[in-house]
Amino acid sequence: DRQRYEAESAPATCDGTIDSNHPGFSGTGFCNGDNAVGAAAQFTVTPEGAGSATVAVRFANGADARPADVVVNGVTVGTVSFESTGAWSAWATKELTVPLNAGSNTIRLHPTTPAGLANIDYLDLAAAA
């Protein structure tokens, strides 16, 4: 089972605009972050319990790779390379492993180049096994 957190649904935040001009997204739109270092998409997730969790981030990128730091509860725990998917309407998912606490956690995708983030559709949190 998975819990889905849409990028356009509060308490998620998007340092940019919620857009719907590229088809294939889930929900009502996706986060089009500003083209800038640090223009982030942030999700607030609540796992069934503390521990290492697998999350899948759905994204599209019609340009060159747009790497980002993965910041959990304010701590950078890894990086993710949102490579080109060939078109802004071609969506793909990236799986990340993140350490989560019991209760509410923030997962922030913090782009590290001036191109900013890929477009971000949602984050799925896999339920504990």
Residues that bind ligand GCU (CB under 6 A): 19, 22, 32, 35, 63, 88, 116, 119
* Count of residues touching Ca ion (by CB under 5 A): 1
Q: Which residue, 88 or 91, has its beta carbon nearer to ligand GCU?
A: 88
- Nearest residue to ligand GCU, scored by beta-carbon proximity: 32
Q: Work out how close the CB of 116 gets to Ca ion at its nearest, in angstroms, rounded to a whole number.
A: 5
Q: Which does 128 bind (CB under 5 to 8 A by kind): ligand GCU, Ca ion, none?
A: none
10-35 in b/e burial notation, b at 16+ Cβ within 10 A? eebebbbebeeebeebeeebbbbbee
Q: Work out how close the CB of 32 gets to ligand GCU at its nearest, in angstroms, rounded to a whole number.
A: 4
- For Ca ion, the binding residues in 22-61 under the rule CB under 5 A are 32
Q: Work out how close the CB of 90 gets to ligand GCU at its nearest, in angstroms, rounded to a whole number.
A: 12
Residues in contact with Ca ion by CB under 5 A are 32
